Structure formats: structure tokens, C-alpha cells
A and B are shown apart, each in its own frame.
Chain A
Amino acid sequence: MKKKKKIDGFNIVLHLFFILFCACFIIPLVLVISASFTSEGALALGGFSLLPREFTLEAYRSAFANGERMIRAYIVTIAQAGLGTFLACVICGMMAYPLSRTNFRFKGFLTGFIFITMLFSAGMIPRYIVFAKYYGINDSFLIYILPVITGGAWNTLIFRTFFKGLPESLFESAHMDGAKELTVFFKIVVPLSTPVFASIAFMTLVTRWNDYSTSMIYIRDEKLYTLQFLLQRIMKEADFLKNLANSGELAGIVNIENMLLPSENLKYAMCIIAAGPMLVIFPFFQKYFSQGLTVGAVKG
């Protein structure tokens, strides 16, 4: 009896801790959601609050009504994230399968070949010089796809470990029936590997969706901006104009500039629009996260 009481006490403290801890995660998000539904005046006057002071959909309406920039950025983001993820998964899986076969002659060499890229990176500037000057893929849609088409060494190793875990008898019987390696991969291995494909595809999709630095470094053409970079630009432009206005240099024309500045609540509405899709779909992929992605998987 005494023992049970003690455990209950611990449980209450534990749950209390987690409720407070979760509040630290939810409150910042609620602030932003609430800001996006608050009218511009109330936001400037009263500041951020947990519940919108003056509820309005005005920010979302104007985001979609005259948000040509935003809609284009949305299309670019969906296209580059979707195509990039698909190609990366296919090519990465194709690379990983031979590395998982014990009888592949170049297994050791090729594993080393991709492992080196995990240890040593070329760095931002040499990559920029090669891609922009020699390949000429800056300022084009290709810059979103090509450099990440291999899927990266890390994902390849996770795929490889998963393939290694498939029962060997499967391969033996397939070979006995005269199946070629290519058939074995596409007809047997791929259908059996949906969990690992799902988790890597989702992780890649999130990275691609949230990518802003590719646009920041390589893209000058505003039509090719991703959503996240557009947000980043808006923040920077606002800072820049505010500084100019404060320093008095824009004293005469500040009113015109104010009209071009997106209002505060519009910025937060765009935040929600940009982050929303990933936040909505991630709970459905949660069961796959721990599956293929333990680091122990990379060893060996």
C-alpha cells in the first residue's frame, strides 16, 4: 500500500513536468498562430498574445489575394521538394542495394567512396564557384535538384543497413529461379522496404521543403525563390527599411515604402502557410522515425 502511494507521487510530478515542458513548445506556436489572426492595429498596439485580440482573417485573405509572389514560391517549393525527394530516394536506394550485397566486388571501394563525403565537405564557396561558374546551374531550377540527387552518404548507409537485414534466403531463391540482380532489386527488395523508403522520403521532403539557403546563395531571379527564402527576404527587407526610416534617410518617401511593406500579421500568416503542410503531415510519419533512423544503423 505504501509503495503504491509513492509511485503515484512520482507519476504526478512526472506528468506535471511534461505538461509544463510541452507548454514551452506550444506557447510560441500559439503566439504566431494568434498573431496571424490578429488585426494589424491590435498587433502593433497590444503586441503578441495567446488569443487574438481582434480576430480577423484579413491577413490570410491578403496573402492569397495579392500574393502572386507567394503562390509562385509555393509552386517552386512543391516542385523542387517533390521531384528532389523522389529522385534522391530512387538513386540513393539504387546505390545502397549493391553495397548491401556480400558478393559485390566493389562494395568496399564504393562504401569508402561515399563515406569520405561524410567526413570532408567542400564548403560553401568552392561549391558556389563550381556550380555557378563551371556548371552554370545557378539561377535555375536545376540547382534545387542536381546537387542533392545522390541523397547523401548518411541516407545511403541507412538504406544499406536495412537491405542487409532482409532474409538472405529471399535472394537465394530468387537467384535459383534465374532472376537477375536488377529484377531482384526492383521486384523484391523495393516492395519489402517501404518503411525505410517512407522514413527517408519524409526526412528528405522536410529538408527540401524547409530549404532557404539554396535560394539565398544561388538564386537571383525572384520567380525561383522557395517559400522559406521568400519569408526570410521579407523579414530582411522589413529590417532594412525600418533601419533606413529610423536613420532619417527615407524621411520623404517613407510613406510609399510603408505601403510596400507587408504588415506584421501578414508575415505571421505566411509563416503558418509555409510551415503548415509539414506540421500537418508529420504525425502520420511518426511511427517510421525510429525505424530506419537509429544511428547504430550506420555502423558496420
Chain B
Amino acid sequence: MRKENKDNLKIVVKKKSIWKDTNTWSLLLLCLPAIIGYILFYYVPIAVSLTIPFRDYKFSRGILGSAFVGLKNFKWIFTSSSMLEIIRNTFLYGLWFMFLGPFTNVMLALLLFEVRNRKALKAYQTVVTFPNFMSFVVVGFITYAILSPTNGFMNQIITGLGGDKVDVYIKPGAWPLILSLVNIWKHIGMGSMMYFASLMGIDTSLFEAAEMDGATRWHKMRYISIPHLVPLICIYIILGVDQLVGGSFDLFYIIPRDVPLLYDTTDILSTYVYRALANGTYAMGAAVGLLQSAVGMLLVVIANLIVKKISPDNSLF
């Protein structure tokens, strides 16, 4: 902080007229491609996202050619019962994943941290990380290889044990569990890596001193490792609150194979918006999308404010 003030002071002293400040101009030149990119591919769509939901948008007529209809596209969202179910799914999955993700990631990182054998550690890390580098499409094939109602691996084990084949693709009740497992399986490697890297950064003399005082593994974990991770956990939870209205399109679209029979427990706002796009009901989908973005932003800002109140160092911005 103090260093920055000093730098600022230095600049004030030698501040030139902006027109002669060639350094500023060359730095701006470096930013230029990105600035144009952000305007064209982020800000223009954002501007459009603020107007389409209020119009009766027809693709052929364009934005300005479509009639202004006020809040009509929003009204049905809160009255349609299928929409309420979708909102409920999105919210409950979001809430569950928001805590499940960081929890499982931290657990794995703490356990990895206990592994002393470097070769074993490297092997475990490599194995749990590879699903992060596969696409959801491939993960979808893998889940199908396991769950397939006719010749899947799970059914082979079940029939091998003398049970009857199970077709999970007609059982909506099975999907919260399946989706949770797939989500953990896909993300835990990289997810735990951040925490693990943070644990590696702890000064080892802390552990040595604790050992000298007779601390057990559990004590070291409880009083050194976990408190050290709290800031990161906070940041991940803040970053995750927009899941309450967002949710991963890939996970919910690909893994249940878009089977309408399973929509009860697998349809979320993101998959709904995609179907609206595919069916050409642009304005209604865009209205849902705008609500998603607005509420998502609000949630992140509020979560950040709360964390900032409690411990300013752990907030994201």
C-alpha cells in the first residue's frame, strides 16, 4: 500500500500532458485489439440482452423491427408451473454444488497433503486430474458405458449379483446422485489442485513447531492447514454463488442425454434457454437469460459484500 502511494506521488510530479505522453499511447495501443474484442463480442451482446426481452422478437425483423411489448415476456416465468420446477431444480442443484464442490476439493487436497511419497503423490494427482481434460461429450459416453440399460457395466454387476437390470434413463429420482458424482469426478482434480498448491505454500517451520509441542496429524490439520485454506474457500464460494441461477449447461444437457422423461430432475435454466433458442422462442428465452445474469451478478456482489464485512482480506473485489 505504502509503496503504491509513493509511486503515485512520483507520477504526479512528472505527469506530462496526455498528448505528449507517448508511453500511455503505446500502452493503449497494446490494449486496442482486446478493447475492440470486448466491445464487439461482450458489450454489444450485453446491450442487446437488455432490449430483446422487452420485445416480441422475430429473427427476420431484427431488433428494432420487433414490437416493444414491455414485461410480457417476464410475466409467464412466475406463473408457469413447469418454469417454477426448472427454477427449483437450478436453485437446489446450485446450492448443493456450491458447498459440495469446495468440500470435496478441500478434503482431497488435505489427504493428498498427507502423502509423503513423492512418486505416489504425483501418480494420484495425475489420475484424479485427467477427467478435467476430457470434454463433457466424452464423459457422456463414459457415463453411458456404465449406466446403459442394456449392456452397461453397472447392470452387468447387478445381474452378476443376481439382481434385475436397472434403466436409470427412465428414473428421474436417480439423477441428483448421478449428476453429483459425475460433477465431482470431472472437476475434483483441478479443484483440489488450487487448495493443494496453497497448502504447499505453508511455512514448514509451523508444522515442525507444532510437532515439537506434541500436535497430532489431526491437530495440525485442524489448526494450521484448514485455517490456511479459509480465504481460498471463501473466494470459491463467492465465485460459485451464481450457480444458484446458472448451472453448468454441459453437465445437465449432455450427461442425461436430453431425455425429456428426466426433465423433472435434470432440467435447469441453462438447458431451458438452449431449448428456447433451438425452438426459436428467442424473446422468452432471452428474458430468462437476462434474469439469470442479473440475479447472478447480484448474488456475487452480495456474497462479496458479506465476506468483505466479515474479513476484508478474503473478498474477491
Contact = CB atoms under 8 A, between A and B. Distances in A.
B59 interface: yes
Interface in B257-314: 257-258, 270, 273-274, 276-277, 282, 285-286, 289-290, 292-294, 296-297, 300-301
Nearest to A102: B7
B131 A122 contact: no
B56 to A, nearest CB: 14
Contact of B41 (A129, A146, A182): A146
A97 interface: yes
B133 A129 contact: no
B145 A31 contact: yes
Interface stretch (A60-68, A255-263, A266-274): A266-274
Q: How many B residues are at the interface, by size bracket?
A: 35 or more
Given A126-B289, A212-B135, A294-B194, A94 B120 contact: no
B151 A46 contact: yes
Contacts of B232: 294-296
Interface string B176-200: 0000000001000010011011101
A123 interface: yes
Interface in B196-234: 196-198, 200, 217, 231-232
B130 A25 contact: yes
Given A32-B142, A296-B232, A48 B152 contact: yes
Given A14-B111, A126-B45, A129-B63, A119 B34 contact: no
A189 B30 CA distance: 13
A103 interface: yes
B244 to A, nearest CB: 15
Nearest to A23: B127
A149 B134 contact: no
Interface-centre pick from B33, B48, B63, B138 (highest chain A CB count, 10 A): B138
Nearest to A147: B41
B24 A123 contact: no
Q: How many A residues are at the interface, by size bracket?
A: 35 or more
Interface string A34-66: 010000000110111100000000000000000
Q: Tell me if B's interface is mostly helix, strand, loop or mixed.
A: helix
- CB-based closest 7 A-B pairs: A47-B151, A123-B289, A210-B135, A122-B45, A290-B197, A95-B34, A126-B49
Interface of B: 4, 7-8, 11, 18, 21-24, 26-31, 33-35, 37-38, 40-46, 48-49, 52, 57, 59, 62-63, 111, 114-116, 120, 123-138, 140-146, 148, 150-153, 155-156, 185, 190, 193-194, 196-198, 200, 217, 231-232, 235-236, 239, 249-250, 254, 257-258, 270, 273-274, 276-277, 282, 285-286, 289-290, 292-294, 296-297, 300-301, 316-317
Interface of A: 10-11, 14-15, 17-18, 21-22, 24-26, 28-29, 31-32, 35, 43-44, 46-49, 91-92, 94-95, 97-99, 101-106, 110, 113-115, 117, 119-131, 133-135, 146-147, 149-151, 156, 180-182, 185, 206, 209-213, 217, 228-229, 231-232, 235-236, 239, 267-268, 271, 274-275, 278-279, 282-283, 286, 289-290, 293-296, 298-299
